[in-house]
Amino acid sequence: MKRVHNFYPGPGALPLEAIEYAQNELVDFQGTGMSLLEMSHRSTAYQEVHDEAYALLRELMELPENYHIMFLQGGASLQFAMLPMNLLAGGKVADYIDTGVWSTRAITEAKIVGQANVIASSKDDDYNHVPKDLPFTPGAAYVHLTSNNTIMGTQWFKYPDTGDVPLIGDMSSDILCRKVDPTQFGVIYAGAHKNLGPSGTTIVMMRDDLLAKCDPSLPTLLKYSTHVENQSMFNTPVTFTIYMVRNVLRHLKATGGIEAMEKQNFAKGELFYNFLDNSGGYYTCPIAKEDRSIMNIVFNMPTTELEEKFVAEAIKNDFIGLKNLPQRGHLRISLYNSVSIESVRTVLEFMKEFQRVNG
């Protein structure tokens, strides 16, 4: 069996154990005589999977009982619209912090619905840091930030104190990468397909006072209350994706939980950034040191020709997913939870050798 070094930005690497676990019971799910793929979401066997995914997420996130969990569809992109539809309608105001492509998308959607103030942006600095000066609007419905900027390569390591105004965090690309106090947030949402599982579901965690404030006049499927009241089964959930999320969370718990994961992720980040910083300017990172993401590392090389050659040779050596989107250009490596420290060491050896030959 061949396994490459998977540095894709998402969908991205999953624990091999979680995939093999699914493989082993794919055809006959726990003696039911059928695959989970063909099983009703109303069956007892599926319900157990669903409940376990909920319970593991609550446990690993240390999420208090006054937060509701939802497994939704439509991606984090639907949440860009659904959150303001529920919380911003009726003349309210919300604050947004612009840290790149994904926050810009969230802002665009919010502005369709209501008044979204962009209170801070790092755009003028090519999004190379997260803004520190945050002039919040008193009495705003919420403040929205993107916890990790998948394309820009920045991450919030200390979330701002927004006082009585609820903070909403898009944690699509760094959920469960480190220990976070969820009570700093009114809402946390994240697409599954980076740290939690394959694509297909978006997890939303919402504090109950915010749930109570949601616009009751929306169509059924766009109301959070519909999903909370029906434990995300008002309509058919993405059963197999939720099953895989459960497998990934089981694996995370069995391998030391969030503390071990945090330690490993910071170690991976440190290894990589130290290598860049000590390459004599051959590999450079444009991001302010204190805001450098440990999930998505962006870097440059002396010329675009060298960068192209680098990516081509990387692929030949089974290092997959190193090119960034044109919004930032240059190179990116995604070191999500399931990327091992061995993969990081191996790619760094390759990079060292590439520099020796091409430097």
- Between CA 86 and CA 273 the distance in angstroms is 40
| Total number of residues that touch ligand PMP (CB under 6 A) | 11
- The angle at the Cα of 218, spanning 214 to 223, to the nearest 5 degrees, equals 55
Contacting ligand PMP within 101-140 (CB under 6 A): 102
What tokens were used for 42?
Answer: 């109303």
Give the separation between CA 253 and CA 21, rounded to whole angstroms: 15
The set of residues, in sequence order, having a beta carbon less than 8 Å from that of 291 and lying 6+ positions away, is 128, 129, 130, 154, 155, 156, 157
Among 167-175, 176-184, 203-211, 281-289, which window interacts with ligand PMP (CB under 6 A)? Answer: 167-175
Compute the least distance from the CB of residue 39 to ligand PMP, in Å. 25
Cα–Cα distance measured from residue 112 to residue 338, given in angstroms and rounded to the nearest whole number: 37
Residue from 6, 99, 104, 150 binding ligand PMP (CB under 6 A) = 150
Task: Tell me if residue 156 is catalytic.
Answer: no
Residue tagged active-site, from 98, 170, 174, 291: 170
Is the Cβ–Cβ distance between 182 and 64 less than 8 Å? yes
Separation CA 336–CA 192 (nearest Å): 12
User: Which H helix or E strand runs over 97?
Assistant: strand 93-98
Choose, by CB under 6 A, the member of 131, 186, 191, 237 that binds ligand PMP. 191
By CB under 6 A, name the one of 109, 170, 262, 291 that touches ligand PMP. Answer: 170
Span from 18-26, 43-51, 73-81, 337-345 in contact with ligand PMP (CB under 6 A): 73-81
146 binds ligand PMP (CB under 6 A): yes
Rounded CA Rg of the chain: 21
The stretch among 55-63, 166-174, 223-231, 325-333 that binds ligand PMP (CB under 6 A) is 166-174
Q: Is 98 in the site for ligand PMP (CB under 6 A)?
A: no
Position among 76, 177, 301, 347 found at the interface with ligand PMP (CB under 6 A): 76
H/E run at residue 162: none
> Of the listed 98, 102, 156, 291, which one is catalytic?
102
Q: Which residues are the active-site residues?
A: 102, 170, 194
Query: Which residues of the shown chain bind ligand PMP in the complex (CB under 6 A)?
Result: 10, 75-77, 102, 146, 150, 170, 172-173, 191
